Amino acid sequence: MSENRLLLSPGHVLGSGIAGAIIWVVALFVLRDLTQENLVLVGASGVIGAIAAAIGALYQNYTARHTQEYLELAEHQAHHDALTGLLNRNALFSELESSLKRSKEDDTVLGVLFLDLDRFKVINDSMGHEAGDELLRIVAERLLGTVRGSDVVARFGGDEFVVVCRDLINEKSVLAVAKQILKAFEKPVSLYGGAMVVSTSIGVAIARPDDPRRSENLVRDADAAMYKAKRSRSGFAVFDEVQRLQVIDRLDIERDLVKALDEEQLIVYYQPLIDVRSKRLYGFEALVRWNHPTRGLIGPGQFLSVAEETGMMARIGEIVLREACAQAAVWNHLTTDARGVRMSVNIAEQQLLDGNFPYLVADILDWSGLPPEQLTLEITEDVIVEHLAGLSSLRQIRDLGVSLAIDDFGTGQSSLSYVKQFDMVSTIKIDKIFVDDMGGVNAAIIEAVVAMAKALDLKVVAEGVENDSQVRELLDFGVHIMQGYLFNKPVSADMIDPSSWFSPRDSSSDAPGLSSQEINRAFARTMEHARPARRG
Ligand code: C2E
Ligand code: MG
Ligand code: MG
């Protein structure tokens, strides 16, 4: 807190007294009444004036001090974290920016350490938020006690802290600080009577004087390195060249994706879903691809997470939905056999969160002329569970006549009993990880899913079927709708010839135990004969 300036000085008091007396003398002179008693009054008024001035000045001093205290408190709060008293995120960035400037001027090295406590969520959930808060305060103290006075310690948010080490001679000094912090965390923390060791993962980004990165880039890079440390359980990791290239690559993808949307570089591939029991094509899943001008055809794994982070997912989702519905409607037009075939489209979290999404679906169905019964929207189980509030949109979509499928079932958080609550879901897609290994616990899970699906009248689809023995095992479990490379990889629409793909296959043998080789051969034949078919 800065010094309090005293506004009451002797000159002040004397001046006010004299001013009071002069006013009286002038008043009496004007009234021509300069008697002795009145002159006594003049003296008294001088004294009263001085006292009034003193009181006024004291009051002024008091209010000024309090205003100043208030301003200083507000200033402190704006830059500090209320819980730990450390600098907050905003203050960190401005400190870091000026430190970077100084390190360039002084030709010194600067280190940014991004810390994230391990298992903090578990502690918070099991011991309560007060214990969590207390732990964060202890960690803050420990950090302050470990680093040098000239280093900056900030709480970045939640259980994340950032330490900025300034004026270092070389990179080794930064690593020494990281090791020192890890050592400080080895000492058990006493929390509500119990002692526990709380570990942390540290990501390090080092800026040499010629480093072009700004403060946000450095923190972002230290954060990325922290994830590397967490994954490898190595305590700390330094942001390196490989990661730098990954970040640049991501930024390139982000920049190119904006263009891709405008220039219609995104295309839709279709992978068939086969009903092995009836030997019929059950449907298609629409899967987005990017026809990148320099990278060639790239899969969703390389760009959908960037699209999600940058808010482009809703636009991409709409493009795919529109294209898939239009394509299915064209096939309907070309052959009546296509009318019993479904089109499944993946729906991302961002699309579902938009309250207008059901209207968009209705609009696209209307525009394309695709009957709603032919459309299935695939939503991963975590998205459904996390956004129960969005369920009203799911109901609205179901009421349009569109089906809903839980995608990648078994990889998320939901339990089987949970599914019963989603009365609007009509299909469960068992994830590839179960198909890859159908023994042990997985066998029990598949059995339970099939039993529940039967009871709730749900369809079960197995994803990622790659070989004959999987087909046999799945049929034994009672799963007969399958999707996987065994039948077909996803292909572009012009590879799908409606005259051969949609026509019913030879159903002379409709036994459930149909040989998968037979199915395989049938579809391989289909592929051999697949010739580019024009969309109508
Ligand atoms: P998904 O919805 O579970 O789709 C199935 C994925 O498994 C596809 O990968 C498909 O090519 C792959 N696959 C199918 N059969 C096999 C197999 O036998 N073996 C192996 N190894 N893989 C198989 P893809 O096309 O790379 O898509 C990956 C994920 O990206 C999709 O998983 C889906 O979650 C997402 N995705 C794709 N297109 C879209 C889209 O238009 N919108 C949204 N929101 N997500 C999409
Ligand atoms: Mg899917
Ligand atoms: Mg899936």
* One domain for residues 26 and 141: no
* One domain for residues 453 and 342: yes
233-291 pLDDT tens trace: 889 999 987 877 888 888 899 999 999 999 999 999 999 999 998 888 999 999 999 99
Domain of 190, in residue numbers: 89-239
* One domain for residues 164 and 266: no
Q: Which ligand is nearest to the CA of 348?
A: 1
Question: What CATH number is given to the structural domain containing 111?
Answer: 3.30.70.270
Amino acid, single-letter form, for residue 331: W
Q: Which of 211, 239, 267 is the last residue of a domain?
A: 239
CA of 344 relative to ligand 2 center, distance in Å: 8
Task: Confirm or reject: Cβ of 408 under 6 Å from ligand 1.
Answer: yes
Question: What CATH number is given to the structural domain containing 273?
Answer: 3.20.20.450
pLDDT in the model for residue 2: 40
Which among 142, 154, 226 has a CA at the least distance from the CA of 188? 142
CA of 483 relative to ligand 3 center, distance in Å: 10
CA of 306 relative to ligand 3 center, distance in Å: 19
469-483 pLDDT tens trace: 999 999 999 999 999
Higher pLDDT, 192 or 521: 192
287, 347, 408: residue to mutate for ligand 1 pocket, most atoms within 8 A of CB: 287
319, 320, 322, 346: residue to mutate for ligand 1 pocket, most atoms within 8 A of CB: 346
Asked if the model's pLDDT at residue 523 lies above 70, the reply is no
Asked if the model's pLDDT at residue 231 lies above 60, the reply is yes
Nearest CA to ligand 1 atom 45: 346
Cβ atoms of 511 and 490 within 8 Å: the answer is no
Chain-centre distance for alpha carbon 246: 18
Amino acid, single-letter form, for residue 262: D
As a whole number, mean pLDDT of residues 485-505 equals 88
Higher pLDDT, 170 or 45: 170
CA of 401 relative to ligand 3 center, distance in Å: 22
| The token pair that represents 272 in the structure block | 């068939």
Asked whether residue 168 is domain-assigned, the answer is: yes
In whole angstroms, give the CA distance from residue 429 to residue 460: 6
Q: What is the pTM of this model?
A: 0.66
Cβ atoms of 434 and 454 within 8 Å: the answer is no
CA of 315 relative to ligand 2 center, distance in Å: 18
pLDDT in the model for residue 533: 42
Which among 373, 371, 325 has a CA at the least distance from the CA of 347? 325
pLDDT in the model for residue 191: 82
109-156 pLDDT tens trace: 999 999 999 888 878 877 888 989 999 999 999 999 999 999 999 999
Number of domains in the chain: 3
- How many percent of the chain have pLDDT more than 90? 57
pLDDT in the model for residue 154: 97
* One domain for residues 385 and 282: yes
As a whole number, mean pLDDT of residues 383-412 equals 85
> Which position has the token pair 């070309």?
334
* One domain for residues 393 and 471: yes
Asked whether residue 178 is domain-assigned, the answer is: yes
CA of 425 relative to ligand 1 center, distance in Å: 20
The set of residues, in sequence order, having a beta carbon less than 8 Å from that of 218 and lying 6+ positions away, is 96, 100, 112, 205, 207
* One domain for residues 177 and 282: no
Q: Which of 44, 61, 79 is the last residue of a domain?
A: 79
* One domain for residues 331 and 311: yes
Asked whether residue 535 is domain-assigned, the answer is: no
| The token pair that represents 401 in the structure block | 């006549």
The CB density around residue 379, as the number of other CB atoms within 10 Å, is: 24
Nearest CA to ligand 1 atom 30: 300
In whole angstroms, give the CA distance from residue 217 to residue 50: 62
Nearest CA to ligand 1 atom 16: 464
| The token pair that represents 41 in the structure block | 């009054």
Asked whether residue 525 is domain-assigned, the answer is: no
pLDDT in the model for residue 54: 77
Which residues are within 5 Å of ligand 3 (an ion), measured at CB?
A: 407-408, 463
pLDDT in the model for residue 522: 54
In whole angstroms, give the CA distance from residue 133 to residue 192: 12
Task: Confirm or reject: Cβ of 287 under 6 Å from ligand 1.
Answer: yes
pLDDT in the model for residue 94: 93
The mean of the pLDDT values for the chain is 86
CA of 287 relative to ligand 1 center, distance in Å: 6
446-463 pLDDT tens trace: 998 999 899 989 999 999
Asked whether residue 303 is domain-assigned, the answer is: yes
Q: Locate the ligand 1 atom nearest the alpha carbon of residue 380 and give its number.
A: 34
> Which position has the token pair 């090791």?
179
In whole angstroms, give the CA distance from residue 401 to residue 528: 36
Amino acid, single-letter form, for residue 166: R
The torsion region of residue 32 among left (phi > 0), alpha (psi -120 to 50) and beta comes to left
Amino acid, single-letter form, for residue 516: S
In whole angstroms, give the CA distance from residue 534 to residue 229: 51
Phi and psi, residue 122, nearest 5°: -65, -45
In whole angstroms, give the CA distance from residue 257 to residue 386: 27
Task: Confirm or reject: Cβ of 346 under 6 Å from ligand 1.
Answer: yes
Phi and psi, residue 521, nearest 5°: -65, -40
Task: Confirm or reject: Cβ of 323 under 6 Å from ligand 1.
Answer: no
* One domain for residues 50 and 158: no
Q: Which ligand is nearest to the CA of 308?
A: 1
pLDDT in the model for residue 63: 78
* One domain for residues 220 and 282: no
Task: Confirm or reject: Cβ of 464 under 6 Å from ligand 1.
Answer: yes
CA triplet 250, 251, 254: central angle to 5 degrees?
90
Asked whether residue 467 is domain-assigned, the answer is: yes
**Long-range contact set of residues 249-254: C-beta below 8 Å, sequence gap at least 24:** 250/306, 253/302, 253/303, 253/306, 254/306, 254/310
* One domain for residues 353 and 258: yes
pLDDT band at 393 (very low <50, low <70, confident <90, very high): confident
Asked whether residue 162 is domain-assigned, the answer is: yes
* One domain for residues 62 and 100: no
CA of 407 relative to ligand 3 center, distance in Å: 5
- Helix and strand numbers (H, E) in the chain are 20, 17
| The token pair that represents 145 in the structure block | 């006690």
* One domain for residues 62 and 138: no
Asked whether residue 184 is domain-assigned, the answer is: yes
- Of the given ranges (19-23, 354-358, 441-445), which has the lowest mean pLDDT? 19-23
Task: Confirm or reject: Cβ of 490 under 6 Å from ligand 1.
Answer: yes
CA of 463 relative to ligand 3 center, distance in Å: 6
pLDDT band at 534 (very low <50, low <70, confident <90, very high): very low
Task: Confirm or reject: Cβ of 43 under 6 Å from ligand 1.
Answer: no
- Of the given ranges (89-98, 249-258, 340-349, 518-527), which has the lowest mean pLDDT? 518-527
- Of the given ranges (329-338, 350-359, 489-498, 526-535), which has the lowest mean pLDDT? 526-535
Q: Which of 220, 239, 258 is the last residue of a domain?
A: 239
The torsion region of residue 522 among left (phi > 0), alpha (psi -120 to 50) and beta comes to alpha
